[in-house]
Amino acid sequence: MITRFAPSPTGPLHLGHAYSAIRAHDMARAAGGRFLLRIEDIDRARAKPEWEARIYDDLRWLGLTWEGPVMRQSERLNIYRQTLAALWEQDLLYRCSCTRRDIEAAVSAPQEGVPRGPDGVVYPGTCRTSGARRPGEPLPDAALRLYMDRIATDCHFDETGEAHRGRQTITRDHMIREVGDVVLARRDMGTSYHLSVVLDDAAQGVTHVVRGEDLFEATAIHVTLQNALHLPVPVYHHHRLIRDENGKRLAKRDDARAIALYRAEGATSADIRRMIGL
Ligand code: GLU
């Protein structure tokens, strides 16, 4: 078994991160497997080296050990671009110049509810024709969307998490109607969370993806991409989210619950485990 923890170095690790990291770590250890780390720093505007350093420090303090080397997404842009170039040459991607506001305006047909997928509203297809690759055109430096109807097939994955345990079926119809043409390369990043996570989990040989329930819906995109790219489909374990005393789930940057803060107040890593029910 190979599991991983994949934080973005855009703020302090909080109790939700601690829960995720400990679950992935303990699951691998219990199975005699390997626990790996990946720094998801493709968002160059928000990722900071000092947050990355603090991630290592907090994880060590929690008593977690991982097998090196740590994978860093910022060092893998050429890998992501190679895959994008291959998809582009197969006419599976198109350039999209829509802003968020263009999309909201295009889908605001008053008569029907607007379908929302894991990435927000389902893209109305505005650029599908105008953004198509011209013969011989190399991979552009632009936002690129996937022609979902050209790759989606009915597929499956196995889930071991609390809320959805068992074999999950993803239908082609769901992907087209309720997820739509997702962005695989953002213009400012040259890649996307979805593409990078899929390529990296495969490159690290991750067999069990342990992460928060908030990413359950995105898994359909990941499994669809794994199938299209002929990559293995890992087992998924989406775990419960850590909530504050009002039942609100901790935000990505809930500094009030930062592990470093509890540390500074004299808590031990055993206290942290107790606080999150582990
Ligand atoms: N980097 C993502 C986050 O910090 C996690 C991605 C994943 O586990 O697939 O939320």
Nearest CA to ligand 1 atom 3: 7
**Are 154 and 249 within one domain?**
no
**Backbone phi and psi for residue 144, each to the nearest 5 degrees, phi listed first:** -125, 130
**Are 96 and 53 within one domain?**
no
**pLDDT (tens digit, 9 = 90+) per residue, 108-125?**
765 566 677 888 889 999
Closest atom of ligand 1 to CA, residue 222: 9
**Are 165 and 137 within one domain?**
yes
If you measure from the C-alpha of residue 212 to the centroid of ligand 1, how many angstroms do you get, rounded to a whole number? 8
6 lines ligand 1 (CB under 6 A): yes
**Are 61 and 94 within one domain?**
no
From the candidates 252, 255, 271, 274, which is the catalytic residue? 252
**Are 151 and 89 within one domain?**
yes
Closest atom of ligand 1 to CA, residue 20: 8
> Is position 212 within any domain?
no
What pLDDT, on a 0 to 100 scale, did the predictor assign at position 93?
Answer: 98
> Is position 218 within any domain?
no
Burial 129-140 (b: 16+ CB within 10 A, else e): eebebeeeeebe
Tokens read off for 51: 């947050």
Question: How far is Cα 171 from Cα 162, in angstroms, rounded to an integer?
Answer: 22
State whether residue 210 is helix, strand or coil. Answer: strand
Domain holding 12: CATH number?
A: 3.40.50.620
Question: How far is Cα 195 from Cα 216, in angstroms, rounded to an integer?
Answer: 16
**Are 143 and 56 within one domain?**
no
Q: Is the dihedral of CA 200, 168, 212, 161 positive or negative?
A: negative
> Is position 42 within any domain?
yes
Say if residues 92 and 152 touch (Cβ distance below 8 Å): no
Query: Domains in the chain: how many in total?
Result: 2
What pLDDT, on a 0 to 100 scale, did the predictor assign at position 5?
Answer: 98
**Are 11 and 24 within one domain?**
yes
> Is position 126 within any domain?
yes
> Is position 254 within any domain?
yes
> Is position 271 within any domain?
yes
Q: Which domain holds residue 175?
A: 76-205+226-231
71 lines ligand 1 (CB under 6 A): no
Query: Is 252 annotated as catalytic?
Result: yes
**Are 83 and 181 within one domain?**
yes
Tokens read off for 103: 């999309």
What pLDDT, on a 0 to 100 scale, did the predictor assign at position 32?
Answer: 98
If you measure from the C-alpha of residue 78 to the centroid of ligand 1, how many angstroms do you get, rounded to a whole number? 21
> Is position 217 within any domain?
no
Q: Within 13 Å and on the Cβ side, how many CA atoms surround 199?
A: 20
Say if residues 259 and 62 touch (Cβ distance below 8 Å): yes
Question: How far is Cα 216 from Cα 211, in angstroms, rounded to an integer?
Answer: 9
**Are 14 and 92 within one domain?**
no
**pLDDT (tens digit, 9 = 90+) per residue, 149-158?**
999 999 999 9
What pLDDT, on a 0 to 100 scale, did the predictor assign at position 109?
Answer: 62
- 234 membership: H or E segment, kind and range: none
**Are 118 and 199 within one domain?**
yes
Q: Cite the DSSP H helix spans in the chain.
A: 15-30, 49-61, 77-89, 100-107, 148-151, 172-174, 193-203, 219-228, 259-264, 269-275
**Are 171 and 86 within one domain?**
yes
**Are 93 and 163 within one domain?**
yes
7 lines ligand 1 (CB under 6 A): yes
Let me know the angle formed at the C-alpha of 119 by 149 and 174, rounded to the nearest 5 degrees.
Answer: 40
pTM for the structure as a whole: 0.95
pLDDT below 70 — which residues of the chain? 109-114, 251-254
Closest atom of ligand 1 to CA, residue 201: 9
Side by side, the strands of the sheet bearing 93-95 are: 93-95, 144-146, 183-185
> Is position 29 within any domain?
yes
What pLDDT, on a 0 to 100 scale, did the predictor assign at position 210?
Answer: 98
